[in-house]
Amino acid sequence: MGLGEQIANARKAKGLSQTALAEKLDVSTGAVSKWEANACKPSKEKLRLLEDLLGLASFDKNGELRNHRLFDEDHMFAFLKEKLNTCELPEALRALSYAKSKHEGMFRKPAEAGVPFINHPLTMACHALALGLEDDELIAALLLHDVAEDCGVTAEELPFSPTVQRLVALVTKPKTAFDEKAYYDAIAGNPKASLVKCIDRCNNLSSMSVGFSTNRIEKYVKETEAYYPALLRAVRNCPEYNNAAWLLQYQIKSLLEMAKRLT
């Protein structure tokens, strides 16, 4: 699907006419018509406004959809299955298949990019192993961390150990309004939950240019700067996670600095 078709579909989904959209963007109706016909492309400034106004996918300066398929999920699944078997991590191995089943048919935002949602937890599990974290319950929690939030099952209903259930419960955001500080404070009280959240944030920061509007990126950066230092301290306070904490701090800080310069 080209840029013009995406603009047209998003505009119609919002119930806007070409004229109404043109007024909001301070351009002519003819300009919107030409964009949707792929006769020309919006400027970089107008693309950002379209992202915010229509919830449109993020595009590069040439109007091409940014690609955030950093790794292929089929390859990662096969790698993890072999690695978890070799390392004798039975709970994580069960979580691998369970997460894949629960996230079946789901896609990362923007859906039009066609990246299966399972790509996200698989990337996180691979990230943890690359950091040397061969911990059965931790890897299981990484693979399951979004199941309770997105798949209609509570953390307590997960067919896994109480520790894994607790880790998933801690990182699951409630569907209704909640106290953000209390949420992060609770996670910071558990080093493994803090690890899950920091690895999750690393992956989301690395791909947010695709699925996030400019406003959401700015909010995400502020949230990370406000709450993640405490999570990293919680990880660093455990001697066995000290090296992982240092690397995660470096990765998160680097991604934040890049995001701040691009927004």
Torsion, Cα of 122, 250, 52, 67 (10° steps): -50
CATH code of residue 179 = 1.10.3210.10
Note the pLDDT of residue 70: 54
Note the pLDDT of residue 164: 98
Kindly tell me the number of DSSP H helices and DSSP E strands found in the chain. Answer: 14, 0
Find out whether 203 and 219 touch, Cβ atoms under 8 Å. no
Other C-beta atoms closer than 10 Å to the C-beta of 17 total 12
95 with 50, same domain: the answer is no
CATH code of residue 11 = 1.10.260.40
Find out whether 120 and 211 touch, Cβ atoms under 8 Å. no
Is residue 188 one of the residues assigned to a domain? yes
Note the pLDDT of residue 13: 79
129 with 226, same domain: the answer is yes
Q: Residue 2: pLDDT above 90?
A: no
20 with 100, same domain: the answer is no
169 with 207, same domain: the answer is yes
- The more confidently predicted of residues 83 and 13 is 83
pLDDT tens for residues 182-239?
999 999 999 999 999 999 999 999 888 666 778 888 999 999 999 999 999 999 999 9
124 with 227, same domain: the answer is yes
44 with 99, same domain: the answer is no
Q: Which domain holds residue 258?
A: 73-262
**Chain centroid offset of residue 52 CA:** 18
pLDDT tens for residues 136-190?
999 999 999 999 999 999 999 999 999 999 999 999 999 888 899 999 999 999 9
Domain count, the chain: 2
47 with 78, same domain: the answer is no
Beta bridge partners of 107: 116
Q: Residue 124's closest CA among 158, 163, 167?
A: 167
102 with 207, same domain: the answer is yes
pLDDT tens for residues 27-81?
999 999 999 998 888 887 888 788 777 766 555 555 555 544 556 788 899 999 9
For residue 219, the number of C-alpha atoms closer than 13 Å in the C-beta half-sphere is 6
114 with 221, same domain: the answer is yes
118 with 188, same domain: the answer is yes
Note the pLDDT of residue 170: 98
Is residue 132 one of the residues assigned to a domain? yes
Is residue 92 one of the residues assigned to a domain? yes
Angle between helices 191-211 and 119-130 in degrees, nearest 10: 130
Is residue 61 one of the residues assigned to a domain? no
50 with 149, same domain: the answer is no
Is residue 66 one of the residues assigned to a domain? no
